[in-house]
Amino acid sequence: MSLVEVDNISHWYPTTAGDRPVLDQISLSLEHDGILAVVGESGCGKTTLGRMVVGEDSPAQGRIRFEDRDVAALRGKDFKAYRRAVQVASLNPGLTIEDALGPAIVHHGLVRRRDLQTELIRILREVGLDATRAFLRRYPHQLSGGQRQRVAIARAMSLRPRLVVADEPTSMLDVSMRLAILDLLLSFREQRQLAYLFISHDFGVVRYFSQAGRIVVMFYGVLVEDGPAEQVIQHPRHPYTYLLLQAIPVPDPALARRRRRTAIEEDTEGAPAAIGCIFQNRCPFVEPQCRTSRPPLTELTDQHRTACFFPDRVPDVDHLLGAY
């Protein structure tokens, strides 16, 4: 039994021009203490998917199951237990650190109110912060980027969850701080057997974090590729995945020049298509079939799926990737 199962969910937001689809028939699963990384450009539906897994939003269609129980049907103490078990690494900018972390810990009965500050200081030091009682009175805008991310991680870990949704946890950080935050998250997984839903637009970050996990690639709400991390990274079978991998910066100028010579040309202005393959307006391999039919998500090898009629045309990239 998987920890989380997302079963054929779709969702859209109303706009003045009509409903705007953000998720289209998404199905995936996350195992106990596993890592599932969701990759795609801004607006592809990654954050909406994360909010639904956490229980902050409900899909318009389909369902999400946690340990084989429909999340939408949970009530009372069952829903309270679910909300404790599934946490998101985030902060409310209008709250002090104590107000952001404290109420949930007390609400779930993990500490007595008189011991709260001592417990908060312990939790913050566990994520590498030199916390004091004065530190608890600070607001997020008074912290550095790295400190804010560590506090957000502390907030998620304080409830001893089983699944953490990490949405762009290293954005706006330099490379050394990114690695420190990623290593911190991975250390919690090893210590506590946590599962992660890891959301990012940066394949370089995803590659580092999800080496033993799975990667899902989304394009405008559609799941276009899904498979074991290293298999997707070294042998992508959807053109969009390949283009995202080509965007990973590398320090070797010769390698960068070789990438430019072998790269698929990307039309970054190509809009998602309403009929047929959603990626057809950017794809260099498009055929008449792609204009009229939507490619199904098909399993190519063990646990590696792609929504492309011509996956064999996509080049491997194992010879193009440098170290993160």
Which of 231, 119, 128, 120 lies closest to 187, judged by CA? 128
**CATH numeric code, 4-94+161-177+191-313:** 3.40.50.300
Residue 269, pLDDT above cutoff 80: no
What is the pLDDT confidence band of residue 205, given thresholds at 50, 70 and 90? very high
Q: Give tens-digit pLDDT for 162-177.
A: 999 999 999 889 888 9
Q: What residue type is 156 in one-letter code? A: A
Q: Give tens-digit pLDDT for 93-149.
A: 999 999 999 999 999 999 999 999 999 999 999 999 999 999 999 999 999 999 999
Tokens of 323: 């170290």
What is residue 323's predicted lDDT score, i.e. its pLDDT? 47
Which residues, other chains included, contact 47 with Cβ-Cβ below 8 Å and sequence gap of 6+?
A: 167, 199
Which of 40, 45, 38 lies closest to 59, judged by CA? 45
Contact 8, 62 (CB under 8 A): yes
Q: What is the pTM of this model?
A: 0.91
* 77-100 average pLDDT score: 95
Tokens of 220: 């405008």
What is the pLDDT confidence band of residue 252, given thresholds at 50, 70 and 90? low
Q: Give tens-digit pLDDT for 221-240.
A: 999 999 999 999 999 999 99
Contact 96, 134 (CB under 8 A): no
What is residue 195's predicted lDDT score, i.e. its pLDDT? 97
Which of 75, 69, 79, 30 lies closest to 50, judged by CA? 30
Lowest mean pLDDT segment, chosen from 64-73, 144-153, 217-226, 255-264: 255-264
Contact 300, 237 (CB under 8 A): yes
Counting DSSP H helices and E strands in the chain, the numbers are: 11, 12
Residue 267, pLDDT above cutoff 70: no
